[in-house]
Amino acid sequence: MPDLSRILFQILNGLTFAGLLFVIASGFSLMFGLMRVVNLAHGAFYILGAYIAWTIQAQGGGWVMAVLMASLGVGILALLAFFLIQRVEGDMPQTLLTLGLGIGVADVCLLIWGGLPKTIAAPSQIRVPVTIAGFTYPGYRYFVLIAAIFIGFLLWYVFQRTQLGRIIRAGVDNRAIVATLGINIDRLFIKVFFLGGILTGLAGAIGGSYLAVGPGMDFAMLTFALAVVIIGGMGSITGSAVGALIVGLVDSFGRSYFSELAIFLLSLTIIAVIMVRPQGLFGRVEE
Residues that bind another protein in the complex, under the rule CB under 8 A? 163, 166-167, 169-170, 172-174, 176-185, 284, 287
Q: Which residues contact 237 (CB under 8 A, 6 or more apart)?
A: 26, 29, 152, 155, 156, 159
Q: Which residues contact 198 (CB under 8 A, 6 or more apart)?
A: 27, 71, 72, 74, 75, 78
- Reduced to 3 states (helix: H, G, I; strand: E, B; else coil), residue 185 is helix
CB of residue 252 vs another protein: minimum separation in angstroms? Answer: 31
CB of residue 37 vs another protein: minimum separation in angstroms? Answer: 19
Residue with Cβ nearer another protein (48 or 178): 178
CB of residue 33 vs another protein: minimum separation in angstroms? Answer: 10
Residue with Cβ nearer another protein (167 or 221): 167
Cβ–Cβ contacts within 10 Å for residue 113, how many? 21
d(CA 278, CA 70): 35
CB of residue 185 vs another protein: minimum separation in angstroms? Answer: 7
Residue with Cβ nearer another protein (107 or 186): 186
Residue with Cβ nearer another protein (3 or 287): 287
Q: 168: closest CA among 21, 24, 35, 23? A: 35
d(CA 134, CA 210): 23
CB of residue 39 vs another protein: minimum separation in angstroms? Answer: 21
Residue with Cβ nearer another protein (139 or 165): 165
